[in-house]
Structure 1
Amino acid sequence: MFKGLGGIADMGKMMKAAQEMKSKMDALQAQLDAITVVGESGAGLVKATATAKGELTALDIDPSIFNPTEKEVVEDLILAAIKDAQSKASERHEKEMRAMAESMGLPADMKMPF
């Protein structure tokens, strides 16, 4: 009798699924802001802390490395620690995205635009 209503019901299901996905993505984005990773260089003399989104939040430098004649070494250690933190943040971000995709029944290797 109402042949066209099946499509409307399917559309409603799709809208509900899209809302649930958005809600999960919003929660994940907030979680990624709270997760921190620490990158190190110089056997821990320089440590860079970042969120799982890659935002640098802290830099810890052991005072023993401050020697005016070795300025370039200190700069290299700082850059290396930051790059390590960014790399770890990227890995953690991908891990969290894979976990969310799997929890939604999507392929683990599906690339989401977030």
Structure 2
Amino acid sequence: MQQLLQQAQKMQQDLAAAQEELARTHVEGSAGGGLVKATVTGAGELQGLVIDPKAVDPEDTETLADLVVAAVRDANNAAQELQQRKLGPLAQGLGGMPGLPF
């Protein structure tokens, strides 16, 4: 039983370390052939947005807004894939252990 608890603690520490690494890792998404680029952390926090001047049309701000949303969505999808690669195996290892939130 003690060995099982130690293993669970080790897995929790590994999970916490992976989550910290995700918070420090940046991924990028883009839309409009690269006219709008969004950068988010691996945890999904928006860190930056770059808009090419070619994407700015004062007469059509709706398209620009759509491009921004699409770029952020693309970046968040990349962050979710990164989370799955980093946390998936750890979370699966913790799943099914009594008293753990997975």
Q: TM-score range by the shorter chain?
A: 0.7 to 0.9
Q: Judging changes above 3 Å, is the alpha-carbon distance between structure 1 residues 113 and 70 closer, same or farther for their aligned structure 2 residues?
A: farther
Which of 77, 81, 84 is residue 87 of structure 1 equivalent to?
77
The list of structure 1 runs, each at least 4 consecutive aligned residues, that deviate by more than 2 angstroms after superposition, is 98-102
2:31 paired with 1:41? yes
Equivalent pairs: percent with the same residue? 37
Which of 57, 62, 67 is residue 47 of structure 2 equivalent to?
57
State the superposition RMSD in angstroms: 2.2
Letter in 1 for 2:28: V
- In structure 2, runs of 5+ residues without a counterpart are none
| 2:23 and 2:41 in contact (8 A); partners too | yes
Name the TM-score, length of structure 1 as normaliser. 0.75
SS in 2 for 1:68: coil
- 1:64 is displaced (CA, Å) by 2.2
- In structure 1, runs of 5+ residues without a counterpart are 1-9
Q: Paired residue for 1:72? A: 62
The structure showing larger relative contact order (alpha-carbon pairs under 8 Å, at least 6 residues apart) is 2
Letter in 2 for 1:59: L
Q: Which has the larger radius of gyration?
A: 1
